[in-house]
Amino acid sequence: MTMEFEDFRKKYEKAQEQAQRVREVGKASWVRELEKMRKKAEDEEANKDALSYLKAGLAKLDHFFSGQ
């Protein structure tokens, strides 16, 4: 009976360790996804800024050429 309990305890502990590893892998995956989302948001913001800059430059050029 004791041997069966020890076997069960070892299997339980091993399952707990495996579950912990799965949770850690899940956290790492979640962090990677958040990093991708952050990078995408930064890139989109940079694109918006560049587009605004270009639009302002084009408006100045249009004003300059239409004034002559």
pLDDT in tens, 37-66: 999 999 999 999 999 999 999 999 988 888
The DSSP-derived string for 1-68 is -HHHHHHHHHHHHHHHHHHHHHHHHHHHHHHHHHHHHHHHHHHHHHHHHHHHHHHHHHHHHHHHHHT-
Asked whether residue 51 is assigned to any structural domain, the reply reads yes
Asked whether residue 3 is assigned to any structural domain, the reply reads no
The pLDDT assigned to 40 comes to 95
Give the global pTM: 0.58
Asked whether residue 14 is assigned to any structural domain, the reply reads no
Asked whether residue 4 is assigned to any structural domain, the reply reads no
Range of 34's domain? 24-68
Asked whether residue 16 is assigned to any structural domain, the reply reads no
